[in-house]
Amino acid sequence: MVFSSLTFIFYFLPIVLGIYFIVPFKLKNLVLFIASMLFYFFGEPKYAILMLISIASTYIHGILMEKYEKHAKKFMISSIVISIGLLMFFKYTDFFILNINSIFNVDIGLLKFALPIGISFYTFQMISYIIDVYRKEAKAQKSFLKLATYVALFPQLVAGPIVRYTTIEKELDDRKHSFDEFSNGVRRFVIGLSKKILIANVLGDCINKFNLSDEKSVLFYWIYAIAVTLQIYFDFSGYSDMAIGLGKMLGFKFPENFNYPYIAKSVTDFWRRWHMTLSSCFRDYVYIPLGGNRVSKLKWFRNILVVWFLTGFWHGAAWNFILWGLLYGVLLIIEKVGLLKILEKVPSFISRVYLLLVVMIGFVLFNGESMSQIFENIGGLVGTGNVPLVTTESIFYLKNYASIFIIGFIAATPLVKNLCVKLKEKAPKVVNVLEPVVLTTLLVVCVSFLVDGSFNPFLYFRF
C-alpha cells in the first residue's frame, strides 16, 4: 500500500485515525502497531514476519546490552550483524551472484527474492537504535510494543524520513494531540500528495514516453534528464511531506528531510539539503566513527569515499548506484581541497548551473536500468551516437510538458513558500479563507487523477 492510493486515502487512513482517536492513550501505540503491520502486510504479507523477527532481535539485544554492560559491545555487534545480514541476504544476494558469475564465468542460479519493501529504512533505524543504546544516548526500550511501534510506524516505514529512536522516544510514552497540529498535518499531507501526483507522476509519464521512443534527439535527451531530476525530487520529497504530515496527525514530530536542495551552490550544500536524515545517519554512525576529518588527509579522503560507497550501495543492488555514490564522494573531495573556495567567489548563477548539471548527470546515472543505457543517455546530452539535434517528436513533447517543467522549476524553490508567508503577514484573513479552498481543490484534483488511473509509480520500491 502507498500513500498516493485511493485505498489508503479513503479507507485505511480514515479508519485508523477514527480508531486511534477513540481509544484511550494507553492503547494508541497498540492501534498504531496493528495498523502499521496491516499496512505492511497489504503490500508484503510474507515479509511482515521478517520485519517482526528483525524487531525481536533488536529488542532482545538492547535489553541484553543494558543488563550485561561488560558484554555490551558484543551484543551491539551481534545485533548489527543480524540486521545487516538480513538486509544483505534479501537485497544484495543476487547482485553478488551475478558478479561472481560474470567474473568466474560460472552459472550459479539467482535466488530472485522480491525486495522486502522498506527494509533499507527500517534496518537503518534498528541499527541507529542499538548504537544509541550502546553509546548510552538512549535507554533500552523495555516494552516490545513501543519499540515495534517505532520501527513499524507506517508513516515513515516505506520511504522515510529516517526517524531515530531518540527523536520520538518521549513521544512513544507521552505525545500531545491538538487540532492545530492535526490541521498542519493535513496541510502537509495534501502538499506532499500534490507534489507526488500532480508533478512527479506527470514527469514520470514524460520519462516513460522517452523510454518508449525510437526517435531520440539531443533535445529529447535533455528533456529526459531534466524530467528525471525533477521527478526524483518531487516523488521523494512528496513522500517525505506526506510522512511528516501523517506524523503530525498522530502526535509525532518527524525530522525534515529536504530543504530546497536545487537552490544549492555546491555539492557540499546540496547534501546538507537533500535526504537530510540519511546524510546525518551516515555522518554520525559511519563517518565520525571512522575519524571524520580529524585524521590524516589520506584517511579523510578514504572516510569520505567509504561513506559515499555505502550511500550508493544502500540505495540499490546495482553498479550504477555504487558509481552514483562514488561520484558524489569524489566531487565532495574535490570541493573540499579547493573547488569550494572558487565556487564561493564566482557569481551565484555559475555555481548553481554547476550544481544542477552535476546533479542531473548523477540522477541519469542513478535512474538507469543498465550501464549501456546510462552511457547512451549521458552521451545523448552532447550528441554522441549521431543523434539529431531536434526532431518533431521532441518538439511535441517539449510543448506538451513545458507547463509541468515550469511548475516544477518554481516549486523546487522557496518562492511559493515565501510568497505565502508574506501574504499571511499582510492579509491573514485572506489566507485563512483561501488556504482551505486551495488545499481542498488540490486534494480533489489529486483524487481525480487517481480515479482516472493515471501513471502512479512508486520509485522507492526499487531501493
Which pLDDT score, from 0 to 100, does residue 231 have?
96
Which pLDDT score, from 0 to 100, does residue 386 have?
86
Mean pLDDT value across residues 119-147:
94
All three cell numbers of 130, joined, read: 542499538
Which pLDDT score, from 0 to 100, does residue 452 have?
80
Name every residue whose Cβ is closer than 8 Å to that of residue 355 and which is 6 or more positions away in sequence: 262, 264, 265, 266, 267, 269, 270
Mean pLDDT value across residues 246-254:
95
pLDDT for residue 134 is more than 70: yes
Give the range among 40-44, 393-397, 417-421 with minimum mean pLDDT: 40-44
How many other CB atoms are there within 10 angstroms of residue 239's CB atom? Answer: 28
Distances (CA, A) of 110 to 90, 94, 96: 12, 6, 10
CA distance from start to end of the chain: 16
Mean pLDDT value across residues 440-451:
93
HEC letters along 244-284: HHHHHHCCCCCCCCCCCHHHCCCHHHHHHHCCHHHHHHHHH
The model's pLDDT over 26-80, given as tens digits with 9 standing for 90+, comes to 999 999 999 999 998 887 788 889 999 999 999 999 999 999 999 999 999 999 9
Which pLDDT score, from 0 to 100, does residue 462 have?
54
Give the range among 107-111, 441-445, 458-462 with minimum mean pLDDT: 458-462
Domain ranges of the chain: 6-175, 181-462
HEC letters along 310-343: HHHHHHCCCHHHHHHHHHHHHHHHHHHHHHHHHH
Mean pLDDT value across residues 152-165:
88
Residue 307 CB burial class (10 angstroms; 0-12, 13-18, ≥19) = buried
Q: Whole-prediction pTM value?
A: 0.93
Residues in the chain, how many?
463
pLDDT for residue 455 is more than 70: no
List, in sequence order, the alpha helices (H) in 68-136.
72-104, 119-134
Which pLDDT score, from 0 to 100, does residue 463 have?
52
The model's pLDDT over 346-368, given as tens digits with 9 standing for 90+, comes to 999 999 999 999 999 999 999 98
Examine the residue annotation and report whether 315 is marked as an active-site residue of this protein: yes
Distances (CA, A) of 362 to 8, 75, 160, 243: 33, 39, 21, 26
pLDDT for residue 458 is more than 90: no
Which pLDDT score, from 0 to 100, does residue 129 have?
96
Q: Which residues in 147-174 are b (16+ Cβ under 10 Å) and which e?
A: bbbbbbbbbbbbbbbbbbbebbbeebee
What share of the chain has pLDDT > 90, as a percent? Answer: 82
Phi-psi region of 274 (alpha: psi -120 to 50; beta: other; left: phi over 0): beta
What is the band of 140 on the pLDDT scale with cuts at 50, 70, 90?
very high
Q: Exactly one of 61, 177, 275, 315 is catalytic; name it.
A: 315
Phi/psi of residue 285, nearest 5 degrees: -110, -10
Distance between CA 443 and CA 462 in Å, rounded? 27
pLDDT for residue 249 is more than 90: yes
pLDDT for residue 460 is more than 60: no
pLDDT for residue 207 is more than 80: yes
